[in-house]
Amino acid sequence: MQFRLEGVHKEFGPGQVALANVDLSVAPGERVALIGPSGAGKTTLFRMLNCTLRPTSGRIWIGGDEAVGLYGRRLREVRRRIGTVYQQHNLVPRLKVIHNVLSGKLGRWSLMGSLASLVRPAELDLAYRALTDVGIGEKLFSRTDELSGGQQQRVAIARVLVQDPDVVLADEPVSSVDPSLATTIVKLLVDISERTKKTLLVNLHSTELALGFFPRIVGIKNGRPLFDAPPERVTPELLQELYAGYSVGESAELPMPSKLGLRACG
């Protein structure tokens, strides 16, 4: 699925500009990392891409559809093709893991089918394969609130695998886990994208993870792209400009120049 944005502008109120005349294209199968300070507009951009927010002005094409014309059944169909992994997981804590994973199928099940699955889970094999893909197949019948934060994030990723979208949007998927686990989760998302040919867009605070795993980096500042480049062209000077005026500890992990040569992207 392809995304194309032309002159996209979003305001939440007088003087509250979240995005300012953004032009951006993402081709099917691309892996793109968005970086930038908190409040730069990255999450707002993701909400535009997954059709939960409409622009104040400008045009967005999702696949062959213009977003402003999506309503009813067609809107639901397009949303089913876009899976989102959120920072807060958006899981039901008291449910078993299998139920949270299978909620990725809700867009395709009838109401009666969804209710029946709460009593007797449908497509158990599908849920198990998805959990195995993210490394926690043994947690299939565990209560979700008994899992660690990192395991819950894997459940959220497994839910997207069950949904089987064309695009995966991951909005700050590792901000609540420790650095070593963050690397594991980002690598997992990249591996899934490479194996399934799904488009992957990830919003990251860690510039080191972005530079290490993604062939395309988009820096967002004050609601608009400051740069759009491969990692080898993202210099320390560009990063300093991107985060100028912000606390590094709050906004990003700026890699030292010596680290910029460490790449894992293909």
Tens of pLDDT along 75-85? Answer: 989 999 999 99
User: Which pLDDT score is estimated for 229?
Assistant: 97
pLDDT of residue 107: 59
**Of 264, 234, 266, 184, the residue nearest 36 (C-alpha):** 234
Cα–Cα distance measured from residue 98 to residue 144, given in angstroms and rounded to the nearest whole number: 9
CA 265: distance to chain centroid?
Answer: 18
Q: What are the residue ranges in the chain where pLDDT is below 50?
A: 109, 116, 119, 248-252, 255-266
Tokens coding 174? 């590792």
Predicted pLDDT at 112: 54
Q: Strands 82-85, 167-171: parallel, antiparallel or unpaired by DSSP?
A: parallel
Give pTM, 2 decimals.
0.86
Burial bucket for residue 129 (CB in 10 Å: 0-12, 13-18, 19+): middle
Specify the pLDDT at position 251: 43
How many Cβ atoms sit within 10 Å of the Cβ of residue 195? Answer: 9
Query: pLDDT at position 117, please?
Result: 52
Q: What percent of the chain has pLDDT over 90?
A: 73
- pLDDT score recorded for residue 179: 84
pLDDT tens by residue, 179-194: 888 999 999 999 999 9
Q: What is the pLDDT of residues 205-246, one digit of tens each?
A: 999 999 999 999 999 999 999 999 999 999 999 999 999 976
